Amino acid sequence: MKAEDVKKITVIGAGDMGHGIAEVALLAGYRVAMQDVEQRFVDRGLTRIKESLDKLVEKQKVTAENKNVMLGNIKTFVDIAEAVKDADLVIEAVPEIMGLKKKVFQALDSAAPKHAILASNTSNMSITEIASVTERPEHVVGMHFFNPAVLMKLVEVIKGDKTGEATVQLTYDLALKMNKVPVRIEKDSIGFAYNRINAPTQILLGLMVERGMANPEEIDAKMKKIGMPMGPYELMDYVGLDVAYHGARYFSDRLSRDYEPPGWLKGKIDAGELGKKTGRGIFDWSKGRPEIDLSKAKEDFDPTILIAIQVNEATKLLEEGVVKSAGEIDKAMASGGGSGFGPFQMARGIGYDRLAKICEDLAREFGVKVFEPTETLKKGNI
């Protein structure tokens, strides 16, 4: 099968990511099926797609007529077998729990046509492990979108140990057809590129709150003042504290104990305060997006430390062969979020020796091994 042969896409999960991916597929002209475990979840996903398409009509990016065609191209399901029975590509976007992903992939494998590609939108998890429960590991691939999927350009295309090259190429080509910026992840490695590079900054952000060194509003105000569309704590709420928590646990179990989620984050999860989706998280979302008071900016917080940590982690991906080049990493980081720049582009302006020194100091101050500068960062000839 080639990308041109894909006509029907099924998305499993109608939540934040699932409904957004379904919308992206509709915008690219595909027939779409969207499935979730309860009717009220698919109904809510469909409403969110309609609301988002209305915004695009308002901005004249889509015509009202085209919107109606797209809404005629989507069907919703609760029954997973019905949803995938004639799919060419299935994209799974269920919660980040490995046992759940495996159950879903077993169901997909038995109900989807033999030629169908089964893709996971997992943020961090092993594609190889997910594929292991199917009879078609060569057709299982990672296709990782970013939130909000309709606006963020990056799609990471992840090759599991047994994923066929034809499957990777087809997925890459499909992401292009969806008007996205695909980046190949050559080695199935925890957090792939974007989330792996951001993960150690989450350690620091967690520790700063845990140790009372700053509060979230002060840091977010500072980051917004220097041009970020959203501060890092607001972004955690936006994506979901449950996603941050499960991600940190996964990193902690498989990469380093340094990633163990902080107590305050666990407290939020236990209290059901998951961020935007529940109306309260780090901030109050009950009246819409939180208003960050820029006058509270912590002026002595130097954002270069976040850049240093990111660049250092990015050098590990080069050392491990996860992504082919510094240029591809920059492309991924500039397209996945709101910053618009890649770590190596920023590093060249700041100087590798300065960044390595920052990482050394942070590792000592916080006792976090993950912050220690790599040999590649110290050499700096990237």
**Residues annotated as catalytic (active site), given as ranges:** 144
CB of 167 to ligand 3HC, least distance (A): 21
Residue 310 binding ligand 3HC, by CB under 6 A = no
Residue 343 binding ligand 3HC, by CB under 6 A = no
Contact 10, 35 (CB under 8 A): yes
Q: Mask: binding to ligand 3HC, 98-137, rule CB under 6 A, as x and -?
A: -------------------------x--------------
Stretch that binds ligand 3HC, among 36-44, 62-70, 336-344, 355-363 (CB under 6 A): 336-344
Residue 338 binding ligand 3HC, by CB under 6 A = yes
CB of 151 to ligand 3HC, least distance (A): 5
Whole-number Å distance between alpha carbons of 248 and 211: 18
CB of 195 to ligand 3HC, least distance (A): 5
Torsions phi, psi for 85 (to 5 deg): -60, -30
Residue 62 binding ligand 3HC, by CB under 6 A = no
Residues in region 243-272 near ligand 3HC by CB under 6 A? 243
Sheet containing 31-35: give its strands across.
74-77, 31-35, 8-12, 89-92, 117-120, 140-144, 154-158, 181-185
Give the number of other Cβ atoms within 10 Å of residue 310's Cβ.
Answer: 25
Residues in region 130-169 near ligand 3HC by CB under 6 A? 146-148, 150-152
Residue 379 binding ligand 3HC, by CB under 6 A = no
Complex with ligand 3HC: residue 144 or 184, whichever CB lies closer: 144
Residue 337 binding ligand 3HC, by CB under 6 A = yes
Residue 235 binding ligand 3HC, by CB under 6 A = yes
Residue 336 binding ligand 3HC, by CB under 6 A = yes
Report CA 154 to chain centroid distance, whole Å. 9
Residue 175 binding ligand 3HC, by CB under 6 A = no
CB of 105 to ligand 3HC, least distance (A): 18
Complex with ligand 3HC: residue 151 or 213, whichever CB lies closer: 151
Complex with ligand 3HC: residue 19 or 280, whichever CB lies closer: 19
Two tokens at 360? 């050394």
CB of 43 to ligand 3HC, least distance (A): 17
Residue 239 binding ligand 3HC, by CB under 6 A = yes
Q: Mask: binding to ligand 3HC, 188-207, rule CB under 6 A, as x and -?
A: -------x------------
- What CA–CA distances, in Å, run from 261 to 85, 213, 278? 39, 17, 20
Stretch that binds ligand 3HC, among 49-57, 66-74, 356-364, 365-373 (CB under 6 A): 49-57
Give the number of other Cβ atoms within 10 Å of residue 87's Cβ.
Answer: 26
Contact residues for ligand 3HC, defined by CB under 6 A: 52, 55-56, 59, 123, 146-148, 150-152, 195, 229-230, 235, 239, 243, 336-338
